[in-house]
Amino acid sequence: MKKVIFTLAFMLAVGAMQAQEAEKEKTFFMEAKVGMENFNNYSAVSIFADETANYSGSNGEINLGYRFSNNSAIELSFFTGRINTSNIITNEYFHNYGFAIGFSKYFAITEKSEFYCGLHTGMIFSNNILSFQDNDYNVGRYGIKTNITVGYNYYIKPKNYIGISVAFPSYGAFQSTGDIPVELSNFSANQKLGFQGYSVTIGFGTKF
């Protein structure tokens, strides 16, 4: 009987230790990232379809998340970016910002490194400025943005890491606020949606 009690007590102690260890793996985290964004031909954020070879610009984001013990995480992201084009007829550049919620899954490579992939969906808002015949026109844009992201993190300390990620954005349901100037009414409206570009970011993250 004593052996049975001892065995049960030992199993309960081990189980408690494992549960406590698993609990330690659950943690909040925060990330800051900066990078470059590129779109082939033209971006869905653009008001007009054009023949520009590519759009490019800078972007940044702040991610707040919670990682579960099974190495999956939920996240809230806030992002911003500036994109421009060298289209000669109507030079367009825009500042966009927004937020997204998402899910990521992490896979350990070594004790200090990991690979992850994620899916984030949210709203994007943009202030588009069009320069045409020495005049500037401002038009607001808003819609849905979805990112598929893959990345790599390296832990420089147990709770601090640096990383690199590549995101592939997709857009949908874009609308414009404000009237398109009459001088630009003959340009073809942008109907481009779906995957059309990528962004590469580097960043720093910390767990707490």
Per-residue pLDDT tens digits for 132-176:
777 788 888 899 999 999 999 999 999 999 999 999 998 887 888
Integer Cα distance of 127 and 97 in angstroms = 9
Neighbouring residues of 99: CB distance < 8 A, sequence distance ≥ 6:
76, 77, 78, 79, 122, 123
* Side-chain-side CA neighbours of residue 136 (13 Å): 6
Q: What is the DSSP letter of 48?
A: B
CB atoms within 10 A of CB 122: 17
Closest CA to 65 of 118, 24, 22, 134: 118
Per-residue pLDDT tens digits for 54-103:
778 899 999 999 999 889 999 999 999 998 776 656 677 889 999 999 99
Closest CA to 159 of 9, 31, 40, 18: 31
Integer Cα distance of 78 and 74 in angstroms = 14
Residues found in the chain: 208
Integer Cα distance of 74 and 167 in angstroms = 17
pTM of the model as a whole: 0.80
Per-residue pLDDT tens digits for 178-198:
777 777 777 777 777 776 789
- CATH number for 27-207: choose from 3.40.1410.10, 3.40.50.1860, 3.40.50.1820, 2.40.160.20: 2.40.160.20
Integer Cα distance of 137 and 128 in angstroms = 8
